Structure 1
Amino acid sequence: MGEEELRAVIDWLVRLVEMAGAAVIVTGAAWAMVRFVVTGIRYRDAAVFTPVRLTLGRFLALGLEFQLAGDILRTAIAPTFTQIGQLAAIAAIRTALNYFLGREIAEEQRLVRERGPRDERTSS
């Protein structure tokens, strides 16, 4: 397999991985929107939205990981210094987003544990 064929395969893989990341994010956003509407109609307590936020955060973090994987694949074959610099910037931004998202998820989970189990029927 020559370099051009390898580039074509890598380009196809990058698109596949990026589509997977986009699909994860879209799926998470759609799920969160449905849960937000259903929960908002059934309950008036803002605390019931925390599990929705946590799940959406997990979907976003996973989607970001797929997007980063696509960026890494893109530079797999004979990257230029410009591509390496762009990858470093993108990786830094996405890693920072993922880090802060992870911290927020952990904090929300801690708050949920401290509140204890809730009976959602009494939250309205």
Structure 2
Amino acid sequence: MSIEVLPESWLSDAIDLLARIVESIGALIIFVGAVWAFGRFLAVLVKDHGRERKYNQIRLNLSRFIALGLEFQLAADVLRTAVAPTFTDIGQLAAIAAIRTALNYFLAKEIDRESAEVEQDRQETSKKDRQDQLPPA
């Protein structure tokens, strides 16, 4: 005789609700990042100063929002398979995890590359500003 503390159907419904909440948070993070990036893009268009460097910074920040949002999406997928997963569920999770992990990997590489470019631009601008401040010889 076995005693169920929580019926599996109740637990499954609760986990599904949690997964939807986590998935919604991920979507919200990506949405907020996109709105923020669009706002910054419009501001750069209006100001038109240091455009390329600012575009790179905007892309870098948007990439970070997307990467974080994808992590939440993956967490939601893991939650969905927490209660009595079938082989089909596990296979789907593996495929989704592989795709999202690959996206995150390439996004992280892009973030690193963009960060290096932004830092190099900052250093060059700073060096140029220091040279402009030197008195003529």
Q: Provide the rounded CA distance (Å) in 2 between the counterparts of 1:9 and 1:38.
A: 43
Offset of 1:46 from its aligned partner? 2.1
Residue 87 (structure 1) aligns with: 93
| Moved segments of 4+, more than 3 Å | none
**Percent of pairs with identical residues:** 53
Q: Which residue, 23, 44, 48 being the options, matches 1:43? A: 48
What one-letter code is carried by the residue in structure 2 that aligns with 1:38?
A
Which consecutive unaligned segments of at least 5 residues does structure 2 have? 1-5, 127-137
Deviations 1:81-118 (A, max 9, x none): 11100000000000000000000000011111122254
Describe how 1:4-83 pairs up with structure 2 within 5 A: 4-43=9-48, 45-83=51-89
Aligned CA-pair RMSD: 1.5
Residues 97-112 of structure 1: pairs in structure 2 closer than 5 A: 97-112=103-118
How far apart, in 1, do the equivalents of 2:66 and 2:20 lie?
A: 18
Unaligned stretches of 5+ in structure 1? 120-124
* Structure-2-length-normalised TM-score: 0.83
